[in-house]
């Protein structure tokens, strides 16, 4: 399984962000560490020390944690699970946190993949996004990572931003591509309800994102990244050969993963479960669970459900849900979904079960089928939800 570690702390909260992450709760960092370790250990015992193929520190801003935290968390993971010797271990980082010493420290702690939140190389746009770094710091951070020895780096960028011109976008993307990172993720800005940026747009303080301009930016990215040798393997993700994000592939292939930390979601077998959102409540609950002692029942499911009732909530995934999710997650991968493979994983004849929506999507020009392989057409990349919703029960 993949292991996701959610770090709920950010130095400042960006006005577009609706993730479960907070500024101004640094007082909870110290108790967070033993609570997280308690949860990691408890799951290790409950699940009988399962094999872990990838580890992903996300958030939030994992690079904002005090020195030594990641090392301690990784040591705890290593002693609680069977971590593959070649496991991909990623940490998300803010450019402002990545000087030479920090990069060397993170690498020495066992992290082998860095994901840097660049977002833009235009200082006006970075200010609008509320980011705490300047464009030059993002480039410096990448170079510091390279010098420290990181040979697997992702750069995150955002497009479709208020006041962003196609010229600014081209300049940013071209500059970033010239750095030759192994992986690039591009996300269109969405104004999530409840965020300050959503309110600003409603009040007319910033223009609403222009979807046509965003589509032009995406198209430019597709062409320029292809010319630079990047494989467009998922709607929002490009990589050099063999550098796709192994951890995210687990999600897209609807595979098993365990999430630890406040609000983290897990999917194991027929179950999806999650921990409480509030970092303060999380600290209390994770500690209480560990102190209650793990008493594995005869039935693993029973044990897991007892545990998640303490930590948060759960839902049982029926065959309909599992089949639907396997389709629309798998179709995010642009090389296509192998229908026989999906049938083998779900135990259901997927081509037969979804015959009608598959045909409808083909007729609408959203999907194309080549034997056993079903994939999005290029013109459907930005409207993929129109295909995905047809696979919902
Ligand atoms: S740094 Fe990332 S996680 Fe934190 S507030 Fe900004 S966008 Fe959200």
pLDDT digits over 1-20, tens only?
A: 999 999 999 999 999 999 99
Q: Is the pLDDT of residue 296 over 90?
A: no
* CA Rg value for the chain: 21
Give the global pTM.
Answer: 0.95
- Catalogue the E-assigned strands of 193-289: 231-234, 237-239, 257-260, 265-268, 271-275
Q: What is the pLDDT of residue 246?
A: 97
Rama region for 28: left / alpha / beta (φ>0; ψ in -120 to 50; rest)? alpha
**Kind and range of the H or E run holding 183:** strand 183-188
When pLDDT is cut at 50, 70 and 90, the band that residue 39 belongs to is very high
Q: Is the pLDDT of residue 180 over 80?
A: yes
Q: What is the pLDDT of residue 44?
A: 93
Helices and strands of the chain, counted as H and E runs: 16, 15
Q: Is the pLDDT of residue 210 over 70?
A: yes
Beta carbon of 17 within 6 Å of any ligand 1 atom: yes
**Kind and range of the H or E run holding 281:** helix 279-291
The two tokens of residue 109 are: 């702690």
Q: What is the pLDDT of residue 57?
A: 98
Hey, which of 5, 7, 18, 19 would you mutate to test ligand 1's pocket, going by the most ligand atoms within 8 Å of its Cβ? 19
Beta carbon of 237 within 6 Å of any ligand 1 atom: no
Hey, which of 26, 60, 127, 191 would you mutate to test ligand 1's pocket, going by the most ligand atoms within 8 Å of its Cβ? 60
Beta carbon of 60 within 6 Å of any ligand 1 atom: yes
311 vs 207 pLDDT, higher one? 207
Q: Is the pLDDT of residue 294 over 80?
A: no
Q: Is the pLDDT of residue 299 over 70?
A: no
When pLDDT is cut at 50, 70 and 90, the band that residue 295 belongs to is low
What average pLDDT does the chain have? Answer: 94
When pLDDT is cut at 50, 70 and 90, the band that residue 37 belongs to is very high
pLDDT digits over 83-127, tens only?
A: 999 999 999 999 999 999 999 999 999 999 999 999 999 999 999
Q: Where do runs of H (alpha helix) occur along 182-265?
A: 196-202, 211-227, 246-252
- Ligand 1 mean position, distance from CA 342 (Å): 34
Contact 386, 360 (CB under 8 A): no
Q: Ligand 1: which atom is nearest the Cα of residue 131?
A: 6
Q: Is the pLDDT of residue 297 over 60?
A: no
299 vs 138 pLDDT, higher one? 138
The number of beta carbons lying within 10 Å of the beta carbon of residue 353 is 18
The two tokens of residue 170 are: 């081209």
- Ligand 1 mean position, distance from CA 54 (Å): 22
Q: What is the pLDDT of residue 375?
A: 97
Beta carbon of 14 within 6 Å of any ligand 1 atom: yes
Q: What is the pLDDT of residue 351?
A: 96
What are the structural domains, with CATH classification, of the chain?
A: 2-252 (3.20.20.70), 336-391 (no CATH)
Q: What is the pLDDT of residue 305?
A: 75
């Amino acid at each position: 399984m993949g292991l996701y570690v959610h770090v709920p702390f950010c130095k400042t909260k960006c006005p577009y962000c609706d993730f479960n992450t907070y500024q101004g709760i640094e007082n909870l960092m110290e108790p967070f560490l033993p609570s997280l370790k308690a949860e990691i250990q408890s799951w290790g015992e409950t699940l009988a020390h399962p094999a872990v193929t990838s580890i992903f520190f996300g958030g939030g801003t994992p690079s904002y944690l005090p020195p030594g935290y990641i090392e301690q968390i990784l040591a705890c993971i290593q002693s609680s699970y069977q971590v593959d010797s070649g496991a991909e271990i990623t940490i998300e980082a803010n450019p402002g946190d990545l000087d030479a010493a920090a990069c060397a420290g993170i690498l020495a702690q066992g992290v082998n993949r860095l994901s840097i939140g660049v977002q833009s190389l235009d200082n006006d746009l970075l200010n609008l996004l509320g980011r705490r770094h300047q464009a030059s710091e993002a480039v410096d951070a990448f170079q510091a990572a390279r010098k420290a020895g990181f040979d697997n780096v992702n750069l995150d960028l955002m497009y479709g931003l208020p006041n962003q011109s196609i010229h600014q976008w081209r300049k940013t993307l071209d500059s970033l591509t010239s750095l030759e990172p192994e992986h690039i993720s591009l996300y269109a800005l969405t104004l999530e309800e409840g965020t300050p940026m959503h309110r600003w747009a409603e009040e007319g303080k910033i223009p609403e994102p222009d979807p046509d301009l965003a589509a032009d930016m995406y198209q430019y990215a597709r062409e320029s990244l292809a010319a630079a040798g990047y494989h467009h393997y998922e709607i929002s993700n490009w990589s050099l050969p063999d550098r796709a994000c192994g951890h995210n592939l687990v999600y897209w292939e609807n595979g098993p993963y365990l999430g630890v930390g406040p609000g983290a979601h897990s999917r194991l077998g027929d179950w999806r479960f999650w921990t409480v959102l509030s970092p303060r409540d999380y600290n209390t609950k994770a500690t209480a669970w560990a102190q209650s002692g793990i008493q594995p029942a005869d039935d693993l499911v029973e044990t897991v459900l007892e545990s998640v009732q303490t930590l948060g909530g759960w839902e049982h995934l029926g065959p309909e849900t599992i089949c639907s999710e396997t389709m629309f997650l798998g179709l995010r991968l642009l090389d296509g979904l192998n229908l026989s493979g999906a049938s083998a994983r779900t135990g259901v004849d997927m081509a037969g079960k979804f015959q009608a929506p598959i045909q409808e999507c083909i007729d609408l020009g959203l999907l194309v089928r080549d034997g056993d392989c079903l994939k999005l057409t290029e013109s459907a990349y930005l409207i993929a939800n129109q295909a995905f919703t047809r696979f919902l029960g």
